[in-house]
Each structure stands twice: as C-alpha cells, then as structure tokens.
Amino acid sequence: CFKDDVKSLRAVVNPDISKIRNIGIMAHIDAGKTTTTERMLYYSGYTRALGDVDDGDTVTDFMAQERERGITIQSAAVTFDWKSHRINLIDTPGHVDFTLEVERALRVLDGAVAVFDASAGVEAQTLTVWRQAEKHHVPCVCFLNKMDKPAANLGFSIESIRQKLKANPVLLQIPIGSGKNFTGVVDLLSKQKLIWKLSSMGEDGRVFEMKPLDHLDEPELSQEVNEARAALIEQIADLDDEFAELLLTDFSDNFDAVPSVKLREAVRRVTLTRKGVPVLCGSSLRNKGVQPLLDAITAYLPAPSERHHDVVRWYKDDLCALAFKVLHDKQRGPLVFVRIYSGTLKPQTAIHNINRNSIERMSRLLVPFADQHVEIPSMTAGNIALTVGLKQTVTGDTIVSSKASAAAAARRAQNESETGKKKGEHASVVLSGVEVPDPVFFCTIEPPTLAKQSDLENALNCLQREDPSLKVRVDPDSGQTILCGMGELHIEIIHDRIRREYGIETHLGPLQVAYRETILHEASTTDTLDRTVGERRHVVTVKLAVRPVELSSAGGFTAFTEELEEQLSQEIKEAVENGVHSSYLQGPLLGYPLEGVSTLIQSVSMVPGTSPAMVSACVSRCMLKALRLAGGQVLEPLMSLEVTVGEEHLSSVLGDLAQRRGTVRDIQSRHDNKVLLATVPLAEMMGYSTILRTLTSGTATFSLELDTYEAMNPHDQNTLLKRMAGLS
C-alpha cells in the first residue's frame, strides 16, 4: 500500500482549513528533533531515503554549518501530507544562542510537538522553549524519544514534565519492552498493540504490525494497560466536563466500555484548552513510534480556524499575513516566509506593508520544502508560504492587500472598542511581531581590504534582515564595525556564513561581553547651550534630575513636571525625549547602555527660533553631567548554567566553577549522573565548552541562558575599568 516514488506536492490544491496543521518541533539540544522530522518526511512519502543527522544528509538542516555541526540553526519550514491532512512543519533549534528562531517559529504556529530524551526528561532548554510556547498559548503534544536507551524511564520523564513544566501529562501509550528490547507501544485508547519487527538495521520501520492486546498471552502487560487506561479515563473526566457527563450518564456501570472515539474527542478538547498535554513514546532513530505521533498531530493539535487571533477578525476575508522569516537567495533575492491568517495570497499582486507603510509587488509564491521550493498560483488562510519579490519586508511585518483594507479593519476595530468595554483604547490592526532579545556578546569585524568594505556592509544588511537578533553598529570613535550577537556560537556562525555565502574572509576582534550601566544616587543639574548657526542664534537652558529605579529590560523612562507638560509643544517634547534616549544608549562609565534610570525634566527655556535639534543636543549634554554626578555602576549579565556530568567528574567541574565566580544553586541526581544548576557571570564563560570537554573527557553536556543583569562587586568593576582603559 506504499508507493516507492516521492509524492509531488499537490501544488494547485489548497486543502480545507480544518485539515491544516501548522506545527513546530521543539526540544533541548540532541533530544532528537531533526531525526524525528526526517522520519516524518520519510513515512509521509516526501523523501526516498532516511536522512541522518550524524551523516549530515537531513532535509531540514540544509545550511552547510548545520550539516557540519549536527545542530539545527534556522527554522526550516517543510510542507507534507499525512492521511488527508496538510502539515506545515517547522524544525526549530534547541541551542540557547538561537532562541529567537524558536520564538519566531512559535509566533506563527498553531501547535507544537515537544521532543524529550526519555532518559533525561525535562532539560534546561526544554524549559525555555516551553515557556515561549506558553507565552503564545500554543497547545502541545509530548514525544518521549530514545525509548531504546538503557536509561530510558517513562515514569521519571512523566514526573519531570509534571514537576518542572508544571504541565498535566496525559499518557496515551505504554511502551512494550525497554532499552534494546523496546519493540513498540500499546495505544491506551484502542488497546491496540503496535509492534515494529526490525530484524535488520536496513529496515525502515515503515511497516508495523497492529493487533489487539491478548489478555491470555501477556497478562502482566494487559494488567498494566488496563490500569493505565482507567487512570487516563479518570484524568480526562476530571479535566473535561462533557466527557465526565458522558461517563456518568451512559457508562456509569463500566467506565472502560467508553468508545475510543469519544475518549479521543475528549483528549482533543483537553489539548486545545491546554488543560493537559498528550504524551506518546518511541525511538525516531530506530524508526519506532513516529507514525502514531503523526496521527496524534492530526488528531489532537488545532487547525488554524480553531486558534483565535483578535486582529484577524477585523480583516474579514481580506488578506492579513505575518512575515516571520527572511532568507537571502543568490538567484531570487530575499525570500520571505509568511503565515496567512485571512484572505488569499496571489503572485503578481501588490501588497501593503503596514509596518513600513510601503507597497511592494510579489512576483512569485512558493511552497517551502526545506531548501526546495515549488511554485503555486495562490495560497489561502491557514497556510505558510514563501514569497519572492518583497525587498523591504522584514521579520515581524504585517502584510495586507491594500491601504484601504487596513483602514477598513481599523474602522471595524475602532467601532468594536467604542461599543465594547475598551473605551478610548485604539485597537491595533497590526499582528504583534517577534520580540527580539538584547545581544549579550559583541566583537569588531573587519574586511580583508578596504575595497571589500561595501561588500561586507551588504552581507551584514542581508544577514540582519534574516536574523533580527544580530545587531550591527559602527563605533563612533574608532569607525569600526561592531557585531552584536546572542552567544559565541551565534557570532561564530555569522562569521562562517559571511565567508561561505558572500566569499569575504573577515577578521573578528576578541569577543566582549555586552555589559550595561546604571546609577547609584539621585542627581540634578542645569546646562545651557548657546550656538549661532549662520544668521540664527539658538539658546536653550535645561534643568533635569535623574534617579535610580528598579532594573528592567528598558533603559528607563522620561517624565515632565505637570507645568512643563502643558507649556511645551509636542515637537519640543519629542526633541527632549530624543536627547534623553540618546544618553541612555551610552552610559557615563564605559559607554554601555543604561538601565534602571528615571529622568524628570524640570524646566526647558529657550529663545524663539531655537531648533529642536539644539534642544536635543542640550538635553544630551545635561544628561551626561547628571549621570556623572549620580555615580556609575556596571551591570553584568548572569547566566543560568545547567551541567549534566558523571559523579566521577563532579568535583573537578565544581572546582572550575568556583574559579569562574559561579554560585551553585542545586545539585540533582539523574540516573547515574549529577545535574549541576548554577549562576555564573557571562564574562567567565568564554570557551567553556572546550574546558568542560577536557575536564570530563567529553562526557558532560551543558546549557546556558541569560538569567538577569546584576551589579558587579567593586573589585571586579575596578578590574574591568582598568582593563577597558588599557584597551583604549
């Protein structure tokens, strides 16, 4: 019943929206996301051979660095069909340097598959990704992968999902056998056994045996299944009133007699309301358990029409789409991935970009199949598509059919907010974009010759459109180009891509930590600027006060006295705010951005005809004086570190952490390993992966993520100030 040839994409057919599933696969590094994706593509008939991460031939890891490193960096989108459903699948990275890729993918997904290593349960990066999924209210299905590992433990994994993720795991399968003897699963809903009889390594797991559980042959397994099914029914009844009512009215004598179809419907409702997460198990590498996972995706995760986005209903049947990723193709220029929320997208049409307030023409429309793309004549709501010809659109932009369409949506939104409870609020008709975290590392980047400077600038512009977490700025003093990124690996890969894709051999300066600054005390000051430009004299006097406030992600906030608020024109207020804002970008100590500072503008007086630019300049100068008077404090990024290490290497890892100013928060046991949780300054973590590999003979793994910014102690701050003074 299986065809040998690869399916061609049903290019012209736009599937019914109820049959579409936009899903992401998310997990910790090495939990088996990419392998699981490859198996899905193979069993759905889109690839002829099984791709393997270790061989470097997977479909979704198509960038050269990904194939070399065996990690997923960019979220590649893949479209395939499974049993009359269209699945748009996005493979996301599990490495902390690439959290933006995960965030960007989750923004446009309707459901997600969380893949866990069944021997490790919930790991650090799983927590981060799970939090991101919760933020976007994305329903999830869990897949306990690597059930063939000797240390695989179903009970431990379920408990870690409950404890660490604070989720409600709903177990739908019981594994048959463990470790090397793991041969399949029992479906608790239907009580069917699914057995993969793989006698040789060459077998692909496409064919598996499905038969009812025999009570006489396997009494122990049968009892385990009966107990687990009873627990499942009870759990679902607690979470879903409709199912509880059905049980009590129709099956009160025997709960076990409830039909599997009714149980399946109830599990779906529980999943969509995010009251519970279905849990399945298997081993992707050993080709076991992937087909039931595909069935679960179509059965339990939502269709686009079951997810409600406020903005979308105001557009009715007009086009509304979100650009969620940009890639650069040498032949076709920028390729923009879009998620269509309403209306239809057609090639050779003009579209209006609300964020840029620009009109662009889309030349072609494609279905993404990793790095292969198939052209199509139109695409309807619920789908993910790839557009060619949008030159200005960047990640997070909202695309609509015309200015008039956006205006009509704004009117509908406004009418609703006036009649509804949100009086006076302006309803937004823009889809919320992607939150870009602040970079934590930076370094200088130089071309091999001055002749290559413009080529480098072009390459960096392209890369920034693709990856908004990469920031590029020019140092005003030295004129050097500064690259700011999310981690060592992030900057290393950008450097690598410039060499491979743009043919420029750049030189990177030493990696530096992106510190921040704050102030210690309140201070107020006055400054006057008196300049004559041509025939015109500009005179402005500013009095302001700064004070420390609680640290937050923003630089700070500006307020005017009540009297001043009424006196000043909007133009002058904006000029004042611009002056304050420019001061927040460079602190008084080392020129790092400021955080936790509040500014009160007490008076602004000027002679008539003074330009707003002069007001901004005076405010900036006055701010600098006030900040110096208030005393500076360096804030350093503290990282949350998780190390999984064998007991025999624990003491050497702890000793190394002590030298890195690390604080150990907890040491947990996980099978034969210890899991070390610590907080360490980022500055002390340079090259940590190499050191850890040496200390533990390559047996330990670690993950790192930004925890908070904290004031440096005086000794470390003085050392840093001296070092920076030496560098300049």
Write out the binding residues for GTP. Answer: 27-34, 91-95, 145-148
Query: Binding site: which residues?
Result: 27-34, 91-95, 145-148
For the record, the structure tokens of 577 come out as: 């705010």
For the record, the structure tokens of 424 come out as: 């006076």
For the record, the structure tokens of 544 come out as: 């302001």
The single-letter DSSP state of residue 554 is S
The single-letter DSSP state of residue 282 is -
Paired residues of 185 in beta bridges: 175, 194
Query: Torsion angle, CA of 119/123/129/130, rounded to 10 degrees?
Result: 80
How many whole angstroms separate alpha carbon 555 and alpha carbon 551?
9
How many whole angstroms separate alpha carbon 527 and alpha carbon 72?
53
The DSSP secondary structure of 316-352, one letter per residue, reads TTS-EEEEEEEEEETTTEEEEEEEEEESEE-SSEEEE
In the chain, count of helices (H) and strands (E)?
19, 35
Taking Cα atoms as reference points, which of 577, 596, 591 lies closest to residue 519? 596
For the record, the structure tokens of 520 come out as: 């210690």
- Percentages (nearest 5) of helix, strand, coil residues in the chain: 35, 30, 35
CA dihedral over 443, 448, 451, 454, signed as positive or negative: negative
How many whole angstroms separate alpha carbon 548 and alpha carbon 711?
13
Task: State the amino acid at position 282 in one-letter form.
Answer: G
Q: Do residues 20 and 303 touch, judged by C-beta distance below 8 A?
A: yes
Q: Do residues 198 and 286 touch, judged by C-beta distance below 8 A?
A: yes
For residue 222, give Cα distances in angstroms to 186, 194, 213. 10, 14, 7
How many whole angstroms separate alpha carbon 582 and alpha carbon 623?
10
How many whole angstroms separate alpha carbon 98 and alpha carbon 490?
7
Query: Torsion angle, CA of 557/563/567/571, rounded to 10 degrees?
Result: 0
Taking Cα atoms as reference points, which of 437, 445, 449 lies closest to residue 487? 437
Task: State the amino acid at position 710 in one-letter form.
Answer: E
Paired residues of 444 in beta bridges: 482
Angle between helices 124-135 and 99-108 (to 10 degrees): 30
3-state secondary structure 140-177: EEEEEECCCCCCCCHHHHHHHHHHHCCCCEEECEEEEC
For residue 178, give Cα distances in angstroms to 56, 118, 122, 181, 385. 29, 11, 20, 5, 41
Taking Cα atoms as reference points, which of 617, 579, 570, 616 lies closest to residue 599? 579
Task: State the amino acid at position 385 in one-letter form.
Answer: A
Using DSSP's 3-state secondary structure scheme, residue 681 falls into strand
